[in-house]
Chains A and B, each alone.
Chain A
Amino acid sequence: MSGYCGKILRINLDERKVVKEDLNMDWANAYLGGRGLATKYFYEEVDPKVDAFSKDNKLIVATGPLSGTPTPTGGRYMVITKSPLTDTIASSNSGGRWGAELKFCGYDMIILEGKADKPVYIDIKDDQVEIKDAAHLWGQTTSKTMELLAKDVGDKAKILNIGPAGEKLSRIASVMNDMDRAAGRSGVGAVMGSKNVKAITVKGSSKPAIHDKDELKQVVSRVNKLIKENGVTGEGLPTYGTAVLVNIINENGVFPTNNFQLATFDKAEEISGETLAEKYLIKRTGCYGCPIACGRHCKVDDLEAGGPEYETIWGYGADCGLSNMGNIIKANYWCNEMGLDTISASTTIAAAMELYQKGLITDKDLDGVPLQFGNDDAIIEWTKRMGLREGLGDKLAEGSYRLGEHFGAPEVSMSVKKQELPAYDPRAIQGQGLAYATSNRGGCHVRAYLISPEILGLPEKLDKFSTEGKPLWVKTYQDLTACIDSLGLCLFTSFAAGAGEYADMYNAVAGTKHTDESILECGDRIWTLERMFNLKSGLKKEDDTLPHRLLKEAIPDGPAKDKVSLLDQMLPEYYELRGWDEDGVPTEDKLNSLNI
């Protein structure tokens, strides 16, 4: 089938053996590619109860059928493994150019098995696949690793690698690629580190086949026009980047501040997208094949670096109660250098600040580095120490839940399934709260971005305070997002495109006959399979919840004052719509209807 390379690379690190296998096309038909198809492989091959750091865990790096094709934003890849942070399925997604280049080498995905006896990197040039010594790279920051590797494999190769945090098994370590893009969430970098794999380099020379080039040209032209004419993808994101959200989320009174103790930040303007564009932005950057180019490149003092994104600005800014944009840019840089997830790293520092506020962390724990809300000096040094596991940084590297547990107060962790929540207070955005609670990879906004209808009014404006109809919106967004991820495209295209456009692009590339309904059914199948893995790994209905603060303590300030999440009013209807029983377990009928 066109679009796919039809080959996977299976690399056994114990035996240093590389096998090229045919892709299972029956599974590709049912699970599309990327996140969905890799989850199917993972589900069939890995015991759900495996310890994430055991060599029996596997790590799959996967592209979608649209990765590396002329479709807009076709540069993405995903990392699928069992998460050491959540103990659920991890599926972490990144842009840049690496994903497209893997396709140009002729592979849809790489499956890493076992554990190398010493640090290695994997060098892929078309048919030539080599496992090479990485002793000279181990311990290096991500940018230094890429600089050294470029000398080894050539500066045209695309590089994916981990930093010191991944090597030291931080449960919030990311996989980085193309210098400043990240498969950030769920600790996938630590699983790569546990296998002693420092990097994967790719340089390819063939493009994936296209079923109907004329048809694809027409569909891509139509979708690009939608993207260009859409106010969000055509103007807001290109001009201001994702940070444009700072003011709108704050004005709505749902901008978590001081570790979700408040919901408005009086210094939001100082960390806004408008301020970033005015004072720090030096250039816009785009991923492979992207007509939006939301990426930022900023300068502060002598530092020029990629980012920061909205979520990072919020985490290091409002959630830590501080407004020094220069230090936020620097902290973001050090997160990327250490190979840490910026959402989890920044909000774990915010949780530590609350522990300090409560007197549970004391000055004797700090080695002279302050940890109060609003202290601009805290975030850079603590990010470095977290990455290197120095002093209290050793506990921070475990993520906010385990940090809180260590100090006897896990309730300071603003997380779902132990993964830190992003930048929207769900007490006053009811659908987003349900999406957080039911996310298959723990606290996350991009499994179902209900902010779009509940705040931004896209595709239509919903009342954010109401629970009515929200379970169906959440399910639909979850299913559509699973399709977009699995096809290998960027979620931001969905501000302008709908299920029909994704089906049309896939049909033109692969020769399939999908409709809106049939592609969304693939999304439902992917979501349900992820749920089945999680249930088999030990997840219970009780885990589909939010932190106590968000369910029981009302927002104390701003225009959303007095609101709490009404999760219990939505969850039963959500389970029913999914075809799950009252304990959140998919019924036999549901599994049969999806052919799982």
Chain B
Amino acid sequence: MELQIKLFATLREGRGKIVTKEFNPPTTPKKVLEALNIDEEDVAILLVNGVDANLDQELQEGDVLSIFPPVGGG
């Protein structure tokens, strides 16, 4: 199944802004991070379709993941 992965801030380095990739179901955000060679410790915020998600939830065809390193401001 195809997933769209949006990367932000330092996670874009060497990977680009948006990655569209095929995964064998069932799959999880954890497997997406492995496929993109992103260390779990570098991920501070993980959204699936704009909603807070966890690393082990099952993903669905067409889901959009947004992945952020630690960021802040105000």
Contact = CB atoms under 8 A, between A and B. Distances in A.
Nearest to B72: A232
B44 A456 contact: yes
Given A244-B9, A274-B9, A457-B45, A559 B51 contact: yes
B44 A239 contact: no
A252 interface: yes
Contact of A243 (B45, B66, B70, B73): B73
A243 B10 CA distance: 14
B56 to A, nearest CB: 15
Given A248-B45, A253-B50, A495 B72 contact: yes
B10 A239 contact: yes
B46 to A, nearest CB: 10
A245 B50 contact: no
Interface string B46-61: 0101111000000000
Given A274-B12, A461-B52, A251 B73 contact: no
Nearest to B12: A274
Interface residues of A, number: 44
A232 B45 contact: no
A455 B50 CA distance: 11
Interface in B1-52: 6, 8-10, 12, 17, 44-45, 47, 49-52
Interface stretch (A51-59, A102-110, A118-126, A445-453): A445-453
B74 A236 contact: no
Contacts, number: 94
Given A239-B10, A251-B6, A456-B44, A232 B50 contact: no
Contact of B47 (A251, A446, A451): A251
Contacts of A458: 70, 72
A449 B51 contact: no
Main SS at interface, chain A: helix
Interface string A201-243: 0000000000000000000000000000011110111011111
Contacts of A235: 10, 69-70
Contacts of A237: 72-73
Residue among B12, B17, B45, B49 with the highest chain A CB neighbour number at 10 A: B45
Nearest to B64: A251
A446 B74 contact: yes
Given A240-B9, A247-B8, A456-B45, A232 B52 contact: no
B50 A451 contact: no
A431 to B, nearest CB: 14
A558 interface: yes
Contacts of A461: 52
A21 to B, nearest CB: 35
Contacts of B6: 251
A200 B34 CA distance: 57
Given A232-B71, A232-B72, A243-B73, A248 B50 contact: no
A559 B50 contact: yes
A464 to B, nearest CB: 8
Residue among B17, B50, B73 with the highest chain A CB neighbour number at 10 A: B73
A463 interface: yes
Interface string A283-320: 00000000000100000000000000111000000000
A310 B74 contact: yes
Nearest to A463: B52
Contacts of B51: 559
Nearest to B70: A231
A125 B68 CA distance: 48
Given A235-B70, A245-B72, 12 more contacts: A236-B70, A237-B72, A239-B10, A247-B66, A247-B68, A251-B6, A251-B47, A251-B68, A274-B9, A445-B74, A455-B45, A492-B72
22 contacts: A233-B72, A235-B10, A236-B10, A236-B71, A236-B72, A239-B9, A240-B71, A245-B72, A245-B74, A247-B68, A248-B71, A251-B47, A251-B66, A252-B47, A456-B44, A456-B45, A457-B45, A458-B70, A461-B52, A492-B72, A492-B73, A559-B49
Interface of B: 6, 8-10, 12, 17, 44-45, 47, 49-52, 66, 68-74
